[in-house]
Structure 1
């Protein structure tokens, strides 16, 4: 097998920043052609409902469904799929679900209420959304972990109904995904996918109920559709390719570091894996390990393309410099494979999830550590956060003015309203004064 080619950067070089930014410039772009197709599909589903849903499902997924009711999967099929899974897989999924649920329980937003010095009662009510839609990729893809990561926080938040849509190309459904849906407590499963599924969730049809928020990964058509329906419903994000940054030093096993980089690169050719170290000899050792272990991977051609086009080994001045570089990248996943990771942790400001210490590979976070694996990508960790219970809870402000409080606040509100030229606002406030 020919040697793997991966870019080497040095933060001391004059063109380092420009080269790094060029490597990072990979925000998800949606072509005009895809947008046009998606717009047509959304318009058809809005106008025709189930009829359009059936037409697109039969054509794009190579099915022959004549009644939209056939698209709804009986709950008994989910339970049967769960019961047919191997015992060890059911045990692993159950452990993961329990850990995800335990972590999510700590994320609940608490309501509050207090009385100010004027006797006004102020507070915040927290309520769950009524209904959430979960998009799950179908066909050859099998991501039961994504089912758990998206559905369990919604259920912990108190969402009464979670609706899962999953395409069934050629009528084929993945039993592990269906088993995970049963385990996660999903209320309804509908075997549709693509932009038509997103449109149906956003506006509703006779068969598909309209939801308040759509979460879950999908292809470019699904991403374009989620972008189009945002505002009608909430969405989690427009996710880009997976990414990892590892900060490591000489004490880290190069073979471990190589496999951690591979763990993201094997997703697809656009995934990004970057390792930063102040030790040039360690970078050499990691590069050697990458070449030595590449042949172990069934998806080695995908890994080779990913690392060759999107990967990098970066020589930093020191660990402080490494932290600054990581903050600039703002990666989805950040590993601190260091002698003293806790010392560097306060200097990390931007990352979707931080994996602390050499015995915490990112792969554990993907499946069973507990925190959510739905994370901001494409540098969005600068302003965005992981999916969590708070994504499915709404906060409502509560205001109850006392007579004295209303009289005290009336001139304040009235004066500001005067400055804004809103006479009715001013009068409404002053009437209580």
Structure 2
């Protein structure tokens, strides 16, 4: 298969199996003997098509008399991949996107549909600058234009202005950046930068001294600096949460929803590998991943622990309890585009109730004077501020002021949008048990 055909194959597989796009993408590419450039192109086609799927399907509905539900999966996803190139990849000539889609259609013995594919794509190419995305409501308009589910846009409009909501939706169309957390137990940011440059990786500083942005990496796992445990991959949002978490060497931390372990790793580095961190998850295979990651990084204060965060485990008494709660993930839409078609409004209510249960179970674990750091990777008032306000009032907790780089002091909580730091959207709150 060529790259475009491989992309449609992967997208078809994602929808037919319901599996996560990153898992199927990685699994499929591992079986193909592709150059780094071709792997990158396939990855861009898959992730980009999924990220802009709502817009793509809307445009397709304007130019095809056949509804997508009536199309064969191969034809539908071949069209989707080609439309993504036409609308969102200016470096790819429209003619190439059209011609390759037609060629692949014929190669799969759908010759009789090649004219349909060609006609739809040529018309979109000619009319793409005149497409009207205006809907009956602001939510429908923003959904069509920015590929955010309409129910999500409507939910945000309940607590944000139209301007704020549109800016938020637009920021989710940006290509996600790659960030790494420097393993300060083994090296410094300056030394790691030099090492990565020597490995032909492009490196930039960020607002957090121990976090770097990298690009043109190839396969990160193959870098010698990665194999030596000099860094781990983590979004800037996750690193900002641990950056503002006040921990000291010798203290005890309970990370109640720890997998895959990034926040535990960062806190261990802040603690200079002195003290104890209970890194908890309900599944054994996830605690094994944490153990493996800690070993690569040279961290020995992490104790992977099988534990249900909804149930109080009295063995986990700690100075700091970190809850990176399961959430709707609406701050991750640009990095995990499959969230857009795997979520509904009811999920927000269900997850908010689960988060509240975890928060309540955590209260007995916090030592007097200790702190709870609550974070999510979503933009959801019900899952974030409402939960924290409920738990703070019910248990008489004190909101702890903290400062985020470039944002000044926050009164106990902060919602960071994807456009603020070019990172994932997230929320963090710090509460003290008094």
Q: With structure 2 as the length reference, what TM-score do the two structures score?
A: 0.29
Q: With structure 1 as the length reference, what TM-score do the two structures score?
A: 0.29
Structure whose CA Rg is larger: 1
Higher relative contact order (CA 8 A, sep 6+): 1
